[in-house]
Structure 1
Amino acid sequence: MTTRRNFGLMLAGGALAGCTTTGTTAPFSDPLQPRGRLRLAPVHVSEDRVIRVVAGLRPYRPGGFVVRAERFGDKTLVHNYGHGGGGITMSWGTSHLALDEGFAGPERDYAVLGCGAVGLATARLIQRRGGRVTIYAKALPPETTSNIAGGQWWPASVFSAKDATPQFITQFEKAAKLSYLHFQQLSAPEYGVRWTRNYSLDEDDLGGSFLFNRLAALAPERRTVPAGEHPFGRSILQYWDSMMVEPPIYLQAMMEDVFAAGGRIVVRDFKSQSELQALKEPVIFNCTGLGAGELFGDKEMIPARGQLVVLLPQPEVTYNLVSNWSYMFPRRDGIILGGTFERGNWSTDEDPATTAKILANHKAMFAKLKT
């Protein structure tokens, strides 16, 4: 599901509410804007502009994702799952760490379970190191959880700070930095990856000071704009740059890369570990996301439902905006509106009340925008 949901609340579980450190406060000087007062094209939020509503389930673990190798009968099993709302964002980084745990050399056969962002990144890294790979998955793009994602690159809603260990935080930081570097190599139209300016209003800063302090280099040109120098009235406004990843383009391009490098994809739904042990590949990378809870007995794994409302595209809107846990991301296939993170909710059906709330929140957000 969407990679950046419920921002600070979902990251910290309320534990970091007192952290208020922000970026540098300075007279407004945005190099992406003409000199003078910041001007932004408004998003036209209305019910008759809705083109689709989708809901998906993030594979959330309060203690954070799992990257770990273990013996699995006569095989090696490498886990790489549980990324919460950061599956796309963290995919290359955790896959890099997973290969460090389980890559057994080139000219070997490897199995990857799952064909979302994490599974595809794992497969491509295996191929880059010379290995032969087969992806086994019960669903392929565009039917994966990764397809139902907003796509902003930022590692929010990945874990709860009160549940994560210091060892995990170290691993998380390393994976985030690795993933950031990998995605920069894919910044091109054919992968649907581009640099985008982000603006956040008031208390929302995509994970709070905890993330920004630890990952400052991953939020370049982060600034706080004084009131009066931006079009949102008395609100506090911050901005920084990150990458946007458009899942429909990105996931299809990644699959094509896997095929072009000689990889195979087999549609198969595994019901038991014994079925996995029957595979011919001696090394298995488990990128099953939410499915790892049942298949491998991970009781920490829970769904975190997210619902998105998509409006007609507006090519003139070229920025991201977040406020009060709501977020807007412009993409080629529409304006993405979101802001839900429902732990324990397994439903992927549209909830009309949630749709109405998302639209109301975004109407209020853009009502502040003075053009």
Structure 2
Amino acid sequence: MDTAPGDEVVVVGGGVAGLTTAVVLAESGRRVRVWARETAERTTSAVAGGLWWPYRIEPGPLAGAWALESLGVYRELAARPAETGVRLVEGVHQGIRPAELGSWAARVPGLRAVAGGLAARLPVIDMPVHLAWLRRRLVRAGGTVEVREVTDLTAVPAAVVVNCAGLGARSLVPDPAVRPVRGQLVVVENPGVTDWFTRVDHSSAASTYFIPQPGRLLLGGTAEEDDWSLEPDPDTAAAIVTRCAAVRPEIAGARVLAHRVGLRPAREAVRLERQPLPDGRALVHNYGHGGAGVTVAWGCARETAALAFPAA
């Protein structure tokens, strides 16, 4: 294996966790390369709904802290929505009570109880636009992105290897604790919906949500554990439209633009830790973010950078 300079980092994984971590490291002066099995627009991150909220992620207290740190960044990025893909949008989480949330909720600006749930003006991230922006920001900071598959983390020639492989960590680490939670979306022409809406029943694989994005409306969704299928199911899609139209009837007649499926990288707890390698190099893990990868991206990225270079 070639020797790598002491500040050189290879980030494995090109989704939102990998690109955000690479940006933080590159802007701190490190030499950063991202090695990704596929381009960002083909990752799970690209098909995510993009609403900021710590959903299906553990442990709760740490996730809340990472989410709040990321919220601060997204609120700043929302000043340039066309460039960054981030906007602040009003909406309602139906069926959620403040008492059900952790202490982090008290620090979310404008989060308030309303009839039947909680309302807030939260970041909504247009993921294809945001991922492209992250990549441009990384390149400006001197980083590079390569489509390159990794089969052995310890063989990557870098002083520090950062594992942001998401669901890929199941075979790459290997870590059998990482499991897919399948999410299916229907993309429709927006019939005039300006607010987001969610209603989640944690006892069911089905949920109801719609999220307005520029030029389209995302309808969801599902949370099907241990389901690896990336093929959209027509019956599931029809049921999603029906559930959303029960909340906003105008959705029923909206023209369908696309069907999307993503596999959330679920784990009983996010793995964010430094692992010393036998040759003295470091491997830092940052994966297992479940349904909240974009929500915790900046908080996890900054903690990953601190673990990668603890003396910095």
Q: Is TM more than 0.5 here?
A: yes
Shift of the alpha carbon at 1:172? Answer: 2.2
CA drift at 1:265? 1.1
Structure 1 residues 120-174: Cα deviation after superposition (integer angstroms, max 9, x where no partner)? 1100100121111000001112111100110001111113xxxxxxxx4442232
For 1:123 and 1:213, the matched residues in 2 are separated by 29
Stretches of structure 2 lacking an aligned partner (at least 5 in a row): 201-206, 252-312
Q: Note the C-alpha offset of 1:280.
A: 2.5
Q: Does 1:240 align with 2:120?
A: yes
Instruction: Specify the code of the residue in structure 2 equivalent to 1:351.
Output: D
Q: 2:240 aligns with which of 358, 362, 365?
A: 358
Task: Find the residue that maps to 1:317 and give its secondary structure.
Answer: coil
Distance 1:319 1:344 in 2: 31
Aligned to 1:321: 197
Structure 1 Cα separation of the partners of residues 181 and 236 of structure 2: 15
Q: Letter of the aligned partner of 1:210 in structure 2?
A: E
Encode CA deviations 1:79-122: one digit per residue, 9 max, x unaligned. Answer: xxxxxxxxxxxxxxxxxxxxxxxxxxx97111100111000110
What TM-score comes out, normalization by structure 2 length?
A: 0.71
1:253 match? 133
Aligned: 1:335 with 2:217: yes
Give me the CA root mean square deviation. Answer: 2.6
Summarize the alignment of residues 67-106 of structure 1 with structure 2, pairs less than 5 Å apart.
Answer: none
Please state if 1:181 is matched with 2:72: yes
Question: How far is 1:178 from its partner?
Answer: 1.5
Residue 268, structure 1, aligned to residue 144, structure 2 = no
| 1:130 matched residue in structure 2 | 29
Counterpart secondary structure, 1:300: coil
Shift of 1:250: 0.3
Distance 1:294 1:127, change over 3 A: same
- Supply the distance in 2 between the matched residues of 1:326 and 1:260 (Cα, whole angstroms): 39
Greater than 3 Å deviation, 4+ residue runs: none
Deviation at 1:333, TM superposition (A): 3.7
In the aligned structure 2, how far is the partner of 1:298 from the partner of 1:219? Answer: 37
Is it true that 1:198 corresponds to 2:88 in the alignment?
Answer: no
Contact conserved, 1:222 with 1:241, CA < 8 A, in 2? no
State how far apart, in whole Å, the 1-side matches of 2:67 and 2:33 are. Answer: 26
Residues 237-259 of structure 1: CA deviation (Å, up to 9, x unaligned)? 54212111000110011111111
Aligned to 2:301: none
Alpha carbons 2:96, 2:117 under 8 Å: kept: no
Aligned to 2:227: 345
Distance 2:99 2:113 in 1: 13
Query: Residue 186 of structure 2 is aligned with which of 309, 317, 331?
Result: 309
Q: Percent identity?
A: 31
SS of the residue 1:244 aligns to: strand
Q: Deviations over 1:16-69 (max 9, x none)?
A: xxxxxxxxxxxxxxxxxxxxxxxxxxxxxxxxxxxxxxxxxxxxxxxxxxxxxx
| Aligned residue type for 1:127 | A
Letter in 1 for 2:99: S
Match of 1:287 in 2: 164
CA–CA separation in structure 2 for the residues paired with 1:339 and 1:216: 27
Q: What is the rounded CA distance, in whole Å, between the counterparts of 2:177 and 2:73 in structure 1?
A: 29
1:251-284 residue CA offsets vs partner (Å, 9 max, x unmatched): 011111111221111111122x2xx333321101
Task: Identify if the C-alpha distance between structure 1 residues 134 and 260 changes in structure 2 by more than 3 Å, giving closer, same or farther.
Answer: same
Q: How many pairs are equivalent?
A: 243
**Residues 112 and 119 in structure 1, CA contact (< 8 A), matched pair in contact too:** yes
Tell me if structure 1 keeps the 8 A contact 2:211–2:217: yes
Amino acid at match of 1:258: L
Alignment partner of 1:142 is 2:41 = yes
Q: Equivalent residue for 2:100?
A: 210
Larger radius of gyration: 1
Contact 1:204/1:322 (<8 A) preserved: no
